[in-house]
Amino acid sequence: MIIDHPLLGPRDAQEFVYLGDADLINRPDWQAEDAADAFHDYLYLRDNPAGVHRELWYHEQGDRSWLVVTRDTLTHEISKVELARDVARAQGRGR
């Protein structure tokens, strides 16, 4: 697979480490009433879709940026690659 890095251009997927569902950047509020349940679901449950999947890849053998890659789990086709930083900022998070 080739991942089209937003800053570096097309890179071989071998340069990356895979983490999992991109929802992992949405860490629950630890002070919420239901924090224990929310963290259980956050840590251990997955949608695991057959089809379009947004997921986190880390460019370990490159610029060490985290990417949010939109990829089809049935065909391995990659339709979108974003910097995780930008995704978080668009949600109004981060500095």
Partner 1 sequence: MRYSGWRVIKEALTGHKGWTPAWSDPEPKDHYDIVIVGGGGHGLATAYYLAKEFGQARIAVLEKGWIGGGNVGRNTTIIRSNYLLDGNEPFYELSLKLWEGLEQDFNYNAMVSQRGILNLVHSDAQRDAARRRGNAMILNGSDAELLDTDGVRAMYPFFNFDNARFPIKGGLLHRRGGTVRHDAVAWGYARGADMRGVDIIQNCEVTGFRIEQGRVLGVETSRGYIGASKVGVAVAGSSSRVMEKAGMRLPIESHVLQAFVSEGLKPLIDGVITFGAGHFYVSQSDKGGLVFGGDIDMYNTYAQRGNLPVVEDVIESGMALIPALGRVRMLRGWGGIMDMSMDGSPFIDRTSVDGLYFNGGWCYGGFKATPASGFCYAHLLATGRPHEVATAYRLDRFRTGHMIDEKGQGAQPNLH
- Determine if residue 63 is left, alpha or beta; phi over 0 gives left, psi from -120 to 50 gives alpha, anything else beta: alpha
Among 7, 35, 52, 74, binds partner 1 (CB under 8 A): 74
Among 8, 73, 86, 90, binds partner 1 (CB under 8 A): 73
Q: How many residues bind partner 1 (CB under 8 A)?
A: 26
- Residue 9 has, within 13 A of its CA and on its CB side, a CA count of 0
Residues of this chain that interact with partner 1 (CB under 8 A) are 1, 12-14, 17-21, 40-41, 43-50, 53, 55, 71, 73-76
